[in-house]
């Protein structure tokens, strides 16, 4: 019973930390785990995973960043854990457009993360100059697009009930950002469905947001 209470207290602490640090940031405790695991990757991958695995049960920037580094050492282990994250995202009603964006980074913009908020504001962060997409199995990429389109096509909640991190404005911008990837790699029916979703959202978007085409919509996506 005492152990159970301690575990519950730790869960509450982790949740509070996440609320303070941001929806997609790891708690302080999990961030420390991932930092140590990142250091261990250079010398002991198995030991690094022992530290990292408890922090990989939620979708965070730090977790996905770690997986991109892990992939350089052990692509099978990294891809397996990424597949688990896809399953978690697909099964969670809290997943939103920014969840999809973070998951896309592993496949298309390693170490580069982009999110949009409900006012159309953008946040971009990068932990490495090497953001080139890795060579991954087509099946893993297909799994991402299947989960991504499932999340992005969910009905939009009324403004007073919307608790997503992106809001309709951020969702609109994220679809606009990710559409080139769907056009290039996903089945046409997925691209068409997302384009229809974006067109529907555009009817309630201000004109400046509809016309927006800045670096936050292109970085890492449209390569010259």
- Indicate whether 19 pLDDT > 80: no
Residue 212 DSSP code: -
pLDDT in tens, 75-123: 999 999 999 999 999 999 999 999 999 999 999 999 999 998 888 788 8
Q: What percent of the chain has pLDDT over 70?
A: 88
pLDDT score recorded for residue 119: 81
Same domain, 131 and 222: yes
- Indicate whether 135 pLDDT > 90: yes
Give start and end residues of each alpha helix (H) in 41-91: 45-52, 61-73, 75-91
Of 67, 92, 117, the domain-final residue: 92
Of 92, 110, 132, the domain-final residue: 92
Q: What is the pTM of this model?
A: 0.85
**What average pLDDT does the chain have?**
86
Q: Which residues contact 221 (CB under 8 A, 6 or more apart)?
A: 108, 109, 177, 178, 180, 181
Of 92, 121, 136, the domain-final residue: 92
For 123, the domain range is 95-224
Residue 161 DSSP code: T
Total number of domains in the chain: 2
Higher-confidence residue: 189 or 16?
189
């Amino acid at each position: 019973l005492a152990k159970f209470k301690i575990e519950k207290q730790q869960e509450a602490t982790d949740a509070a930390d996440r609320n303070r640090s941001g929806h997609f940031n790891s708690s302080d405790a999990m961030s420390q785990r991932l930092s140590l695991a990142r250091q261990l990757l250079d010398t002991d991958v198995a030991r690094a995973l022992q530290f990292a695995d408890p922090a990989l049960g939620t979708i965070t920037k730090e977790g996905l960043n770690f997986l991109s580094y892990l992939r350089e050492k052990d692509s099978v282990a990294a891809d397996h854990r990424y597949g688990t994250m896809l399953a978690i995202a697909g099964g969670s009603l809290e997943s939103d457009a920014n969840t999809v964006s973070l998951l896309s980074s592993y496949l298309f913009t390693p170490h580069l993360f982009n999110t949009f908020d409900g006012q159309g504001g953008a946040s971009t962060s990068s932990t490495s100059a090497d953001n080139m997409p890795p060579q991954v199995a087509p099946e893993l990429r297909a799994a991402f697009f299947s989960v991504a389109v499932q999340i992005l096509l969910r009905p939009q909640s009324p403004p007073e009930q919307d608790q997503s991190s992106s809001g309709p404005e951020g969702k609109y911008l994220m679809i606009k950002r990710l559409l080139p990837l769907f056009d290039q790699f996903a089945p046409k029916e997925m691209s068409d469905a997302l384009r229809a979703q974006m067109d529907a959202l555009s009817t309630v978007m201000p004109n400046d947001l509809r016309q927006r085409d800045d670096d936050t919509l292109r970085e890492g996506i449209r390569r010259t």
